[in-house]
A and B are shown apart, each in its own frame.
Chain A
Amino acid sequence: MQTHQYDVVIVGAGGAGMRAALESSTRARTAVISKLYPTRSHTGAAQGGMCAALANVEEDNWEWHTFDTVKGGDYLVDQDAAEVMAKEAIDAVLDLEKMGLPFNRTPEGRIDQRRFGGHTRNHGEAAVRRSCYAADRTGHMILQTLYQQCVKQDVEFYNEFYVLDVILTHDLTAGEVPAGEEVAVAGVVAYDLATGEIHVFRAKSVVFATGGAGKIYKTTSNAHTLTGDGMALALRRGIPLEDMEFFQFHPTGLAGLGILLSEAARGEGAILRNSEGERFMERYAPTIKDLAPRDMVARAMANEVREGRGCGPNKDYVLLDLTHLEPAHIDAKLPDITEFARTYLGVEPYTEPVPVYPTAHYAMGGIPTTIDAEVLRSNTDVVRGLFAAGEVACVSVHGSNRLGTNSLLDINVFGKRAGIAAARYAETAPWHEMPDDAATPTVEYIERLRDHATGERIADIRRDLQETMDRNAQVFRTADSLTEALADIAALKKRYRDASVQDKGRRFNTDLMEGVELGFLLDLAEVVVVGALAREESRGGHFREDFPSRDDEKFMQHTMAYLRPGAGGEGTVELDYKPVIVTRYQPMERKY
């Protein structure tokens, strides 16, 4: 075992983690721990853009952007946080440009902007050009640019290290902290993939930036490595998770594969059609049609398929039609995603429409934080020194449905805020005791998984989990489907306890790490389903067929899910609720 000490430890080297590192490493001694090489992070897969009301190509302002974010999130957004994000968006984009990000340009040489779903002028009048972009590889450019700056600043990385535990001064799992006592972070425990060795990092501040959890579903745009590690680690240590039932299904995944075709395609004019060739979005969102928010488009597509207007031999997808766009325009604006269609489906987008179906894309929920990225351990109290930013966090700027381009924005705005806040806190904060046996639970966990002589394969359990989630907790949900999912997850958790991995070695044991990641997925899937079952309404990304309308009276509040010790060693998920912060906008019906 090795030990280290840093003022600030950042867990995750995607967009949020590196943006935080750029701030914190100039102010405090900082280490970034990442299970992937930084440039392998899934921020690099983001395509369409990052929005900010720069008004470079048409009139726009941050207030309109705030409104769109709140309305897009179906009024579950904390409006103070959305306002911060929309205001700071402008500097966030300019910061990136100054770091060298190669944005596409207008003829005048300014940063170009394009349309994206749910972003409108003057509170819904018409689509507005707000998304700043670099072809259809905006995330790639953000990730590269931030990494380049980290190289320049000589940021210290621990790559291919998996953080497997976070150490707090108090045990929060029982839910009781003596009155007047402050809970603080003491550090993290990590596993070095190359050697199998355990490293304990003592730190005054810890920033979680571990990204999303799309792998709880089978069909997803997320990477194999997006297993919700940070969320699950926090949950296991008694920290609540907020609004986890809200998962975004992106309308246009390549049918059967889930690989994303950015909304930028529709922003540039592509149209969704059913088997009758009908532009069906005209029926669902007469004003902005194909550019309605994702939850609405995804449901519309699923509904077309359900009602028998799907395409293909099994009538199980719809078509994204780009054939009326100029090939040169497609090549200039959408080169990567059209190549995905060619490579993976053998479809030529110049001349043939592309088969698409909704794909699990984005976790709106996550670790609850304040607007300074401090982690909340209850509706009101924070864990001192613990921060979270990016997809792992829930500020909440996305409410029940995130608008396209608002996540690349989120990771930059709140990544920066987290980095500054973490370093500032570390300046004056005391060191907290790191118990001698801090690593024991982690060591026991991985040894049990590795040393089980025989047992079921991890992959089989994971597949069954992903299948039940796709079947029962996807675009359409009911009490029955969710109850079934919950029963399945309970059974899978039992199987997981007796699972084993084949690779018994210490060196680069990815088999073992997949086993650990499955444990995270199982915990998170349960939280998603328990929250979804309790939320007897439909809002944003969460649609209950048995409760098809929004119920502001009962449910205009955030879900706060806690894992409490239960019978037989398995925890049980308990729910509480937290009020939504409303400043300017009273809830209205969401029409587009």
Chain B
Amino acid sequence: MTALAETTETSTEAGAVPSFDVTLRIRRFDPDTGAEPRWEEFTVTAHGTDRVLDAMHKVKWEVDGSLTFRRSCAHGICGSDAMRINGRNRLACKTLLKDLDPSKPIVIEPIKGLPVIKDLVVDMEPFFASYREVMPFLITNGNAPTKERLQSPEDRARYDDTTKCILCAACTSSCPVFWTDGQYFGPAAIVNAHRFIFDSRDEGAAQRLEVLNDKEGVWRCRTTFNCSEACPRGIEVTKAIQEVKRAMITRAF
């Protein structure tokens, strides 16, 4: 189908944004080379609807194959490519270049607070360890019905927002408390606890609140709202944390 092959070249005209050059200023680090972390700049030509990820692929595929980052789905659903872009945590695949002022270099760094493995790749294990601690699974006691458990649309709506989490760590690694204290569970773990605490089918809220009442738990949150701003899924993270705090006091959920 020739029609299709051409689409890719021309569809950018739909948004009427012409091609332009962008410079990426990328934080590079490979401990195996013994070199210190450094900044490197690359200039590539981008099209109107290109995302930061497209520009990074251009660098990797046409200029320097050793530039290293994670990515998979390329449309904001797998959570692989959270990074710090112009000082803000975002997904590279969901950030359009034209929204970033391409006349200035776009500064790209790994997310903060997690050990850097290479270039933009960080060790996610501490992040997942906190996630696992809040018991992020449905806890029920006793008999399951033969058919589905009933849940009203209203009860289902109660925790809808926090089911959207893709575990990208954009929120947690934007949190100043997490930067200074890596032991703090961080917003993502609390969001995932919220997802179950407010699920009418779940019976593990008391256990989870106990975990979160820990000195590294929800009380460390200083409500700076960085996390809500960083969330690429639009989850109201701070609100979820507030709701968990309230539940801790009132024991109503």
Contact = CB atoms under 8 A, between A and B. Distances in A.
A259 B147 CA distance: 35
B9 to A, nearest CB: 8
Contacts of B210: none
Interface string A339-373: 01001111000000001011000000000000000
Interface in B15-68: 15, 30-33, 49, 51, 60-62, 64-66, 68
B14 A223 contact: no
B8 A505 contact: no
A419 B149 CA distance: 25
A474 B77 CA distance: 26
A467 interface: yes
A224 B8 CA distance: 17
B121 to A, nearest CB: 5
A110 B150 contact: yes
Contacts of B150: 105, 108-110
B202 interface: yes
Interface stretch (A1-9, A34-42, A271-279, A422-430): A34-42
Contacts of B68: 503, 508-511
B78 A223 contact: yes
A109 B65 CA distance: 52
Given A255-B7, A302-B3, A355-B14, A344 B136 contact: no
Contact of A110 (B5, B70, B144, B148): B148
A63 B106 CA distance: 57
Interface stretch (B161-169, B175-183, B238-246): B161-169
A156 B197 CA distance: 26
B66 A505 contact: yes
A316 interface: yes
A457 interface: yes
A312 B65 contact: no
A148 B73 contact: no
Interface in A435-461: 457-460
A108 B94 CA distance: 37
B152 interface: yes
A45 B5 contact: no
Interface in A470-504: 470-471, 474-476, 501-503
A39 B11 contact: no
A412 interface: no
B166 A140 contact: yes
Interface in B107-130: 117-118, 121, 124, 128
Interface stretch (A65-73, A94-102, A288-296): A94-102
Contacts of A219: 4, 7-8
B132 interface: yes
A533 to B, nearest CB: 17
B12 interface: yes
A109 to B, nearest CB: 4
A134 to B, nearest CB: 8
B160 interface: yes
Given A40-B72, A102-B163, A316-B10, A511 B65 contact: yes
Q: With a 10 A CB-CB cut-off, give which of B3, B15, B75, B166 has the most chain A CB atoms.
A: B3
A343 B78 CA distance: 16
Contacts of B65: 457-458, 501-503, 511
B76 A355 contact: no
Contact of A508 (B1, B118, B163): B118
A314 B60 CA distance: 31
Nearest to B132: A151
Nearest to B49: A344
B6 interface: yes
Contacts of A265: none
B25 to A, nearest CB: 20
B15 A345 contact: yes
Contacts of A505: 30, 32-33, 66
A149 interface: yes
Contacts of B117: 194, 507-508
B11 to A, nearest CB: 3
Given A148-B137, A507-B118, A306 B7 contact: no
A471 B2 contact: yes
A317 interface: yes
A44 B78 contact: yes
B187 interface: no
A440 B72 CA distance: 29
A310 interface: yes
Given A44-B77, A151-B132, A256-B10, A39 B166 contact: yes
B252 interface: no
Contact of A503 (B66, B124, B155, B201): B66
Interface residues of B, number: 73
A513 B12 CA distance: 30
B74 A256 contact: no
A502 to B, nearest CB: 3
Contact of A40 (B1, B75, B79): B79
B5 to A, nearest CB: 5
Given A40-B79, A44-B77, A503-B65, A100 B4 contact: no
Contacts of B12: 256
B71 A224 contact: yes
A475 B61 CA distance: 28
Contacts of B33: 505
A314 B6 contact: yes
B14 A467 contact: no
A435 to B, nearest CB: 31
A344 B75 contact: yes
A501 B64 CA distance: 10
B137 A104 contact: no
A144 B163 contact: yes
Interface string B205-221: 00000000000000000
A305 interface: yes
A503 B1 CA distance: 35
A218 interface: yes
Contacts of B62: 457, 459
B224 interface: no
A257 interface: yes
A412 to B, nearest CB: 15
Contacts of B78: 36, 39-42, 44-45, 223
A12 to B, nearest CB: 13
Given A39-B166, A140-B166, A45 B7 contact: no
A336 B235 CA distance: 13
A170 B51 CA distance: 48
Given A219-B8, A302-B3, A511-B66, A340 B75 contact: yes
Contact of B4 (A151, A470, A508): A470
A324 interface: no
B152 A39 contact: no
A225 interface: yes
16 contacts: A37-B124, A40-B78, A44-B166, A148-B137, A152-B137, A219-B4, A224-B73, A255-B7, A305-B3, A336-B77, A346-B14, A355-B11, A357-B4, A459-B62, A471-B5, A508-B121
Given A105-B150, A259-B75, 14 more contacts: A37-B128, A102-B160, A105-B156, A152-B135, A224-B71, A255-B14, A256-B14, A314-B6, A316-B6, A340-B75, A343-B94, A345-B11, A345-B14, A510-B70
9 tightest A-B CB contacts, nearest first: A256-B11, A100-B138, A502-B65, A459-B61, A109-B150, A503-B66, A511-B65, A148-B137, A152-B137
